Amino acid sequence: MTTLAVRRLAVPPRPRRRTGLIAAAVIVAALIALHWWAVRETDVSVTALVSGWSGIVDFLESAVPPDFTWATVVKPGIEACLVTLAIGLVGTTFSIPFSILLAVLGARTTSRNSFVYQASRGIMSFLRAVPDIVFALIFVTAVGLGPFAGVLAIILHNTGVMAKLWSEAMEEIDSGPSDALRVAGASSAQVAAHVVLPTVVPTFVGLLLYRLDVNVRSSLVLGLVGAGGIGFLINQSISLFRFDEMMTYILMVLVLVVAVDLLSGAVRKRLAV
């Protein structure tokens, strides 16, 4: 009988636990040092907060109770809230075509030209990097004070953000159907129109509703720089030291934001069913 020689395989060495502990300690130390530097740079001071507490109390005494005068406060506030909602809605809707175009050109599943892909990603990055409030300041100097400057600012900034989100959603789908169409001779536009876009429609709508919610909040901030809406009235109240009026406008903003959030949440829930 032939005896088979059994060779013993070498046991792989155990990972060095000490090395992992050292690496973890270095990371923790680096994070602590980073936050220590950040706290120093931002002038975080508990002493300053405690010493300024009286100022906060004075502010609350001036702001409470809110001023609910219908003709001079509540009615203009409601009208301004509607303008703020309109800025967010129009800015979000008008950015959809540009966002879809950039998303298609900037997703690997639909864009095969490396130059077009990189150029589209660069435009997305630029539009996302510039805050909407900076765009609003630019457009206020171009078209003047008012909601139109806010709409233009929302369109540009939201185009970059939504195109980024939508392109990533397009890249996460199953590539099988797209590859099958390409093998059959379909162009990138045909692949996008017949496979990619129909697949990601529910995701697109969910992300669009999320951005509408964010843009309504952004419209409030844009009003502080002259782009109209309830933010303009809040800024005006602060300038006149009418903190009771400001508190009324803030309560209106709270109602507006909650209403938009509930509406978008209900639509997203409906789509998920």
Contact 210, 264 (CB under 8 A): yes
Buried b (16+ CB within 10 A) or exposed e, 207-237: bbbbbbbbbbebbbbbbbbbbbbbbbbbbeb
Instruction: Find, among 211, 206, 237, the residue nearest to 224 by Cα.
Output: 237
Lowest mean pLDDT among 149-153, 163-167, 184-188, 219-223: 184-188
Q: Is the pLDDT of residue 4 over 60?
A: no
Q: What sign for the dihedral angle of Cα 21, 23, 24, 25?
A: positive
Average pLDDT score, the chain: 81
Structure confidence at residue 74 (pLDDT): 84
Structure confidence at residue 48 (pLDDT): 77
Residue of higher predicted confidence among 74 and 16: 74
Structure confidence at residue 36 (pLDDT): 92
Structure confidence at residue 242 (pLDDT): 82
Lowest mean pLDDT among 14-18, 144-148, 151-155, 168-172: 14-18
Structure confidence at residue 34 (pLDDT): 92
How many CA atoms, within 13 angstroms, populate the side-chain half-sphere of residue 129? 6
Structure confidence at residue 57 (pLDDT): 79
Lowest mean pLDDT among 86-90, 120-124, 194-198: 194-198
CA distance 75 to 71: 6
Residue of higher predicted confidence among 200 and 206: 206
Residue of higher predicted confidence among 192 and 49: 49
Residue of higher predicted confidence among 101 and 267: 101
Q: For the chain, how far is it from start to end, CA to CA, in angstroms? A: 70
Determine the average pLDDT of the residues in 124-150.
Answer: 88
- % of residues, the chain, pLDDT over 90: 10
Lowest mean pLDDT among 44-53, 118-127, 185-194, 224-233: 185-194
Residue 126: pLDDT band with limits 50, 70, 90:
very high
Structure confidence at residue 33 (pLDDT): 93
> DSSP strand E in 132-180: where?
none
Q: Is the pLDDT of residue 240 over 90?
A: no
Q: Write down the architecture of domain 68-272 according to CATH.
A: Orthogonal Bundle (1.10)
Contact 179, 114 (CB under 8 A): no
Amino acid letter for position 93: T
Q: Tell me the domain boundaries of the chain.
A: 20-51, 68-272
pLDDT in tens, 21-71: 888 888 999 999 999 999 888 888 788 777 777 777 777 777 778 778 888
Structure confidence at residue 7 (pLDDT): 61
Lowest mean pLDDT among 2-16, 93-107, 154-168, 176-190: 2-16
Q: Is the pLDDT of residue 230 over 80?
A: yes
Determine the average pLDDT of the residues in 116-127.
Answer: 89
